[in-house]
Amino acid sequence: MSKLKKALREQFDYDVTGLPAWTDNTMPNVITDLIENSNFLGSLTIEEGVKGTKEIALLNADVTLQAKEGCTPSPDGSVVFTKENLTTVPLYAGIEFCNEDLNTKMTQVLNALGLKRQNGQLPAALEDILMAYLMKNLQRKAQRLVVLGDTTSLDAELALMNGLRYRINNNTDVIDYMSSEASITAGNAYAIAYGLFKSVPAELFDNGYEVRMYMGRDKALLVLEDWNNANPYSQVAIPQDNGTSMEFVLPLTNIRVVSLPELLNTNEMWVLPLALTFLGVDSPEDMSYDIKYDDYDDKLKAECSFRLGVQIVWGQYFTRLQLAVS
């Protein structure tokens, strides 16, 4: 018996004998946990089964109400389909353990998950722990890629695909709220956010679209500070975090402000209609996860692969903040 096999049995009560042999380029797919564990990704419109490029077929119909005369009324109106393509890219991540660093890595894994050994034993099955650890790390990286991805980026992880920032900034139909302020401070943050809200097309609210305002946590706190300082008798309490974000309703509006870690320390504020913001993923039957034992290298390996892509439709319903040049 190898050292790793013995260590897995003795330290973690886990037998790798039943695991399939490791094969190179074997990349199972997983996405369900990835999305469900991210409040932001889970709020977008999910388009499943996108293997490559798929056209987003949304219908925008405008019909004319008219009097009916006789038995042959004439249809009068127009129908427009979107022509935006949603493209997904294949992504991969994995982690491996060998006997020499097994205990050290496992301690790091448990700390990252907020878990600890119980009477020297793992708090859950090793396979479940490895999957949870991989998903937690992938959720952060996938959300970062979806928000900040840019194929021209010098960051190898962000260069994998174009994300929301790229698509918003490169869509000429997106509405720019031109603020007269050159910076966001505790004395003007609320006014800026409220001005951005007023720039959102009323059509979205009139038709029941769910719309949210996104910004960095630092700017969200400035919005609350600005409002609370000016309104001591109607202050808004600092909200509890929802996952990695804080959320609150912008005072005097019906729109929720959501902080995104990816926008921290930036002056970016976006208003997104969630129904028109698409996240492309794999087919449900392709979503899986695998853990295998490499007998040749004596290593335990966990890996997953998945497809991901993002696209916005009808840019004229998206709004972004543009500060004045100082």
DSSP string for residues in 1-59: --HHHHHHHHHH----TTSPBP-TT---B--HHHHHT-HHHHHSEEE---SSEEE---E
What are the domain boundaries of the chain? 3-44+86-161+282-309, 164-278+314-322
Percentage of the residues of the chain whose pLDDT score is greater than 90? 41
Q: How confident is the model over 278-297, as pLDDT tens digits? A: 988 876 556 566 777 777 77
Q: How confident is the model over 236-262, as pLDDT tens digits? A: 988 877 777 899 999 999 999 999 999
CB 298 within 8 A of CB 158: no
Residues 6+ apart with CB under 8 A from 242: 39
For 164-278+314-322, CATH number?
3.30.2320
Q: What pLDDT score was predicted for residue 297?
A: 73
Burial class (CB in 10 A: 0-12, 13-18, 19+), 115: middle
> What Cα–Cα distance (Å) separates residue 218 from each residue in 107, 225, 258, 293?
32, 11, 11, 45
Distance CA 132, CA 289 (A): 11
Q: Rounded to two decimals, what is the model's pTM?
A: 0.81
Q: How confident is the model over 146-197, as pLDDT tens digits? A: 999 999 999 999 999 999 999 999 999 999 999 999 999 999 999 999 999 9
Q: How confident is the model over 33-86, as pLDDT tens digits? A: 666 667 888 888 877 777 777 777 665 544 445 555 555 555 554 444 456 787
Q: With CA atoms as reference, report the closest residue to 49 among 221, 256, 287.
A: 287
Distance CA 138, CA 77 (A): 46
Torsion of CA 170, 174, 177, 182, to 10 degrees: -10
φ and ψ of 316, to 5 deg = -70, -5
Q: What pLDDT score was predicted for residue 59?
A: 54
DSSP letter at 279? Answer: E
Q: With CA atoms as reference, report the closest residue to 16 among 120, 110, 104, 102.
A: 102
